[in-house]
Structure 1
Amino acid sequence: MTTQPQAPVTVTPPLPNRRNAELLLLGFATVITAAAFAIVQANQERSVGWALLDYTAGFLAVFGVAHLAIRRYAPYADPLLLPIVALLNGLGLVMIHRLDLDERLAEGSGRAVTNPQILWTLVGVGAFSFVVIALKDHRQLARYGYVCGLTGLVFLAIPALLPRSLSEQNGAKIWIRLPGFSIQPAEFSKILLLIFFAAVLVAKRGLFTSAGKHVLGMDLPRPRDLAPLLGAWVASIGVMVFEKDLGTSLLLYASFLVVVYLATQRFSWVVIGLVLFTLGSIAAYHIFDHLRVRVQTWLDPFADPDGAGYQIVQSLFSFATGGVFGTGLGNGQPDTVPAAATDFITAAFGEELGLVGLAGILMLYTIVIVRGMRTAIAVRDSFGKLLAAGLASTLAIQLFIVVGGVTNLIPLTGLTTPWMSYGGSSLLANYVLLAILVRISHAARRPFRPRSGNTAPIATTNTEVIERV
């Protein structure tokens, strides 16, 4: 009796997960942050002592914990996401510290905001690590799509129902203000509603892809299928009208339209959505005074430079002062812009780092957005594709709204710059957003191993092939 020779066992070497590269980039981000802090201290004629080493070691330790969570629970996640966000967060802390020094020098008793922001950074990184560890599979979120949608709408509605003393600041009712603590629930609503949009679009894809009449080269949806679009429109217009928050309204609605287009590939949905939003905005402009003031200030901020247009005028002066290369960290006067640590932190960077420095910061954001879109392309499941694309698109839209507002390209909205601006709600929510994106990138880049048989090679995703090249 003869035996057939067995096929040789193919041993495929494990794919690199790039965790060491991530750690190296985190060290590089720490060095840049420490150097920026030292430059601010020197230009403000403050001592640069051993405290710098303590802050540097603490910064690296905090993000080192997040790195260890990724290394253990999401080893194939994109190695660029966490280091870039750490650098953005570090530069934001440096600029907030620089503005805090000016405030205390000018007034003598200004409230320091650097220490609370450091505390919120710790909380945000802790929340990031928790989500990475607890969320075993991003597809679990699809099961709670309707719960997330309802919770997101409740978060949006709470500030509108509260009295002005507990919810209104700078004319916008977007806060929940308690003694010693305040939170902006809309920051969390954007994540919850994105999960809801992605889950519904995957489950009800036929509803959105059903075509009605063919008009002007577009397949229009049937009238009875417009209910989800009308619901999102009513919610966004409600936020604009009752909470006086143009930025959140624009962000939520634009994110919804992007996800709908990605799911259906039908441009008609986008056209209908834009037409509805335009009609609603025009009606709100003629009915509500606060929207009319925002638009008029955008059209001509110098008509009232000491009143309604003061913020945007000072912001434009900051960009003009910075020029191409900036005045240098610690050498400008960014404190002349109201809310420089929150809504106008990009104007502060524009003055002290100039066009070149601000372009570098925007390039960092662009890398995060592109890597998010790349994750959406590589991940295998439809829900993950829509969610990753929605999260990345939300970052892009928010960045456009913020930078467009402070440069007077679009009306000022009051949104904050992700991971850089002062504010605990924004920082915490964006770290949760990053954790979900990291989780999806781990699923996208993870090698696919067959369940049985030892002769088949290990299949890889497109992303992993690119990484190996």
Structure 2
Amino acid sequence: MTEPQTTEPRTFEKTRTSETVLQRITALRAPRKLLGLELSLLLFALVVGIAAVISVDLTVVGTVTTNLLVPSIIFTAALLSLHLTVRKVAPDADPLIMPIAAFLNVVGVAMIYRIDLSRGHFGWEATSVKQLIWSAVALVGAILVLVLIRNHMVLFRYTYITGFAAVILLVLPMVPGLGREQSGAHVWVEIGPISFQPGELAKILLAIFFAGYLVRNRDSLAMVGKKVLGIRFPRARDLGPLLVFWLAAMAVLVFQRDLGTSVLYFGLFLAMIYLATGRIGWIVIGGGLFLVGGLIASQTLDYVGNRFANWLDPFADPYYASHQMLQGLFGMANGGMTGTGLGQGYPGDTPLAQSDYIIPSLAEEIGLIGIFVILAAYLLLVGRGLRIGFAGQDDFGKLLASGLAFTLAFQVFIVVGGVTRVIPLTGLTTPFLAAGGSSLVSNWIIIALLLLLSNSVRNRPKLVIRS
């Protein structure tokens, strides 16, 4: 009598365990079925872009034109090629990341095209055409990243090489004969007819370097130190990396006159060191260094002081120093909740409306509701990146995914905060939306890396073995 009673529960338990294993295997392979969802969302993003361009044409020109037909076909071919590459190389990648980036990209192109029409720019020299071509180049770059890297752990082996390469890229604009000044900032490199911002690629290399360095040195940075008022602060000898990157950020600010990039680099390192160690002490010290650096820069550097002055009182010099900021604010106010409609505002009145001030340009024509949709897309994109980081198998992948997500989040916050007077204006570009080839290439490479990382997170045979 006792024999069957002991056997039956074991059989039942065995069956239940088998079912659990099967469910987990199905759950792990479910993302492969979501590739159809990714394609559907990509097509939806393209339809949104086409509809926006047609709306601009009908409103401004009065008829549908073919101004963007050829570059749009090139861009669409590159985007679908990236989708097919993901199917082959990273079939378990997050299906929402690429469509969100594509949506932001096409919305930006439509707005840039609208500004081109208001200024009478047509043909292959128009900024919107260049934006589509650069978008296609960026998508090809993303494809190369997926094909050549395959496994993100390869990057861990080259931690210090990527750090050295990032330093070289940061120094390039200061090399005589290569660097070019634009709008007072020394962040451009010009080689023949091609000009680019090496700092855009440097931010990716720095994220890789930070992730590798912090994984290797996390114990000494996290476990040692004295407690003051309940907060454990690091030892003086461990403050070296923080001080080095604080000085590097200040050097970018002083020599390249680029406030936004210096804030981005230092903020990225501070966020990643906190994620790696979990110590509030790093945030306190880093925040203190940031405030001290900002105070010194505002008092000693004229262009930083002017930005602070314009931020505090934009009406002090409305026809010169604060003209751009005020035009952007007036444009956003003119848009209201629902906007004037695509093609019915005056975004071209704002200097650099297609790049630094593309958010106010969009706010004027699609309103606060439209801007909320765009910010929600950014929030979802950053959230997916952080989710990849928190679910990662290895410490390097966790830190890298989180660092890349923070890079996008910092950029959006710095830009949107600047044009709305939450913080002083810095001059960074809005990811995927603003005109700029260097920014597009670097941000699509970030998307490719996030796709690789999400593929490694979802394709985890170890979970099945543990079951």
If the length of structure 2 is used for normalisation, what is the TM-score? 0.91
Query: 1:190 aligns to what?
Result: 203
Q: Give distance in 1, aligned partners of 2:439 and 2:343.
A: 25
Q: Give distance in 1, aligned partners of 2:232 and 2:462.
A: 41
Q: Give distance in 2, aligned partners of 1:317 and 1:221.
A: 47
Given residue 48 of structure 1, which amino acid in structure 2 is its aligned partner? V
Q: Give distance in 1, aligned partners of 2:159 and 2:78.
A: 32
1:102 and 1:110, CA in 2 relative to 1: closer, same or farther beyond 3 A? farther
Aligned runs of 1:162-177 on 2, under 5 Å? Answer: 162=176, 166-177=179-190
Once the two structures are superposed, residues 286-321 of structure 1 have per-residue CA deviations (whole angstroms, 9 ceiling, x without a partner) of 221111111111111111011110110101001000
Asked if 2 retains the 8 angstrom alpha-carbon contact of 1:447 and 1:458, the reply is no
Q: Give distance in 1, aligned partners of 2:394 and 2:123.
A: 55
Selected match of 1:211 from 221, 224, 229: 224
Deviation at 1:168, TM superposition (A): 1.0
If the length of structure 1 is used for normalisation, what is the TM-score? 0.90
Given residue 352 of structure 1, which amino acid in structure 2 is its aligned partner? E
1:52 and 1:301, CA in 2 relative to 1: closer, same or farther beyond 3 A? closer
1:51 and 1:279, CA in 2 relative to 1: closer, same or farther beyond 3 A? closer
Does residue 93 (structure 1) correspond to residue 106 (structure 2)? The answer is no
Selected match of 1:141 from 132, 155, 180: 155
Query: 1:223 aligns to what?
Result: 236
Query: 2:145 aligns to what?
Result: 131
Does residue 433 (structure 1) correspond to residue 446 (structure 2)? The answer is yes
Q: Which runs of 5+ in 2 are unaligned?
A: 1-10
Asked if 1 retains the 8 angstrom alpha-carbon contact of 2:172 and 2:179, the reply is no
The SS at the match of 1:192 is helix
Selected match of 1:323 from 336, 360, 364: 336
Q: Give distance in 1, aligned partners of 2:124 and 2:45.
A: 30
Does residue 272 (structure 1) correspond to residue 288 (structure 2)? The answer is no
- List 4+ stretches of structure 1 deviating above 6 A: 6-11, 50-56
Q: Give distance in 1, aligned partners of 2:61 and 2:195.
A: 34
The SS at the match of 1:281 is helix
Q: Give distance in 1, aligned partners of 2:414 and 2:182.
A: 20
Asked if 2 retains the 8 angstrom alpha-carbon contact of 1:342 and 1:421, the reply is yes
Does residue 28 (structure 1) correspond to residue 44 (structure 2)? The answer is yes
Deviation at 1:134, TM superposition (A): 1.3
Given residue 345 of structure 2, which amino acid in structure 1 is its aligned partner? G
Deviation at 1:113, TM superposition (A): 1.2
The SS at the match of 2:227 is strand
Once the two structures are superposed, residues 56-80 of structure 1 have per-residue CA deviations (whole angstroms, 9 ceiling, x without a partner) of 6554432111100000000000000
Does residue 155 (structure 1) correspond to residue 174 (structure 2)? The answer is no
The SS at the match of 2:119 is helix
Selected match of 2:126 from 86, 96, 112: 112
Deviation at 1:46, TM superposition (A): 3.6
Given residue 71 of structure 1, which amino acid in structure 2 is its aligned partner? R
Given residue 258 of structure 2, which amino acid in structure 1 is its aligned partner? D
1:25 and 1:296, CA in 2 relative to 1: closer, same or farther beyond 3 A? same
Deviation at 1:111, TM superposition (A): 5.1
1:318 and 1:263, CA in 2 relative to 1: closer, same or farther beyond 3 A? same
Once the two structures are superposed, residues 405-452 of structure 1 have per-residue CA deviations (whole angstroms, 9 ceiling, x without a partner) of 1111111111001111111100001111111111000011114168xx
Asked if 2 retains the 8 angstrom alpha-carbon contact of 1:346 and 1:403, the reply is yes
Q: Give distance in 2, aligned partners of 1:204 and 1:166.
A: 35
Query: 1:202 aligns to what?
Result: 215
Query: 2:81 aligns to what?
Result: 65
Query: 2:309 aligns to what?
Result: 296
Deviation at 1:49, TM superposition (A): 5.5
1:384 and 1:37, CA in 2 relative to 1: closer, same or farther beyond 3 A? same
Query: 1:44 aligns to what?
Result: 60
Once the two structures are superposed, residues 108-137 of structure 1 have per-residue CA deviations (whole angstroms, 9 ceiling, x without a partner) of 999521221111011000011111111111
Q: Which runs of 5+ in 1 are unaligned?
A: 1-5, 451-456, 461-469
1:169 and 1:56, CA in 2 relative to 1: closer, same or farther beyond 3 A? closer
Once the two structures are superposed, residues 213-233 of structure 1 have per-residue CA deviations (whole angstroms, 9 ceiling, x without a partner) of 211111111101111111111
Deviation at 1:333, TM superposition (A): 0.5
Once the two structures are superposed, residues 251-284 of structure 1 have per-residue CA deviations (whole angstroms, 9 ceiling, x without a partner) of 1101110000000000100110111121122122
1:312 and 1:268, CA in 2 relative to 1: closer, same or farther beyond 3 A? same
Selected match of 1:414 from 392, 410, 427: 427
Query: 2:321 aligns to what?
Result: 308
Does residue 102 (structure 1) correspond to residue 115 (structure 2)? The answer is no
Q: Give distance in 2, aligned partners of 1:432 and 1:110.
A: 25
Deviation at 1:362, TM superposition (A): 0.7
Given residue 136 of structure 1, which amino acid in structure 2 is its aligned partner? R
Asked if 2 retains the 8 angstrom alpha-carbon contact of 1:103 and 1:110, the reply is no
Given residue 450 of structure 2, which amino acid in structure 1 is its aligned partner? L
Given residue 278 of structure 2, which amino acid in structure 1 is its aligned partner? Q
Selected match of 2:271 from 236, 258, 262: 258
Deviation at 1:52, TM superposition (A): 7.5
Asked if 2 retains the 8 angstrom alpha-carbon contact of 1:34 and 1:52, the reply is no
Q: Give distance in 1, aligned partners of 2:233 and 2:270.
A: 15
Asked if 1 retains the 8 angstrom alpha-carbon contact of 2:188 and 2:198, the reply is yes
Once the two structures are superposed, residues 356-413 of structure 1 have per-residue CA deviations (whole angstroms, 9 ceiling, x without a partner) of 0011011101110000011111111000000000110111111000001111111111
1:458 and 1:36, CA in 2 relative to 1: closer, same or farther beyond 3 A? farther
Deviation at 1:162, TM superposition (A): 3.3
Given residue 181 of structure 1, which amino acid in structure 2 is its aligned partner? I
Q: Give distance in 1, aligned partners of 2:256 and 2:402.
A: 28
Given residue 46 of structure 2, which amino acid in structure 1 is its aligned partner? T
How many residue pairs match? The answer is 446
Given residue 51 of structure 2, which amino acid in structure 1 is its aligned partner? A
The SS at the match of 1:415 is coil
Deviation at 1:153, TM superposition (A): 1.2
Q: Give distance in 2, aligned partners of 1:302 and 1:248.
A: 26
Query: 2:5 aligns to what?
Result: none
Deviation at 1:148, TM superposition (A): 0.7
Q: Give distance in 1, aligned partners of 2:255 and 2:310.
A: 20
Query: 1:178 aligns to what?
Result: 191
Asked if 2 retains the 8 angstrom alpha-carbon contact of 1:30 and 1:59, the reply is no
Aligned runs of 1:257-406 on 2, under 5 Å? Answer: 257-406=270-419
Given residue 330 of structure 2, which amino acid in structure 1 is its aligned partner? F
Asked if 2 retains the 8 angstrom alpha-carbon contact of 1:405 and 1:412, the reply is yes
Identity %: 43
Give the stretch that moved more between structures: 56-65 or 152-161: 56-65
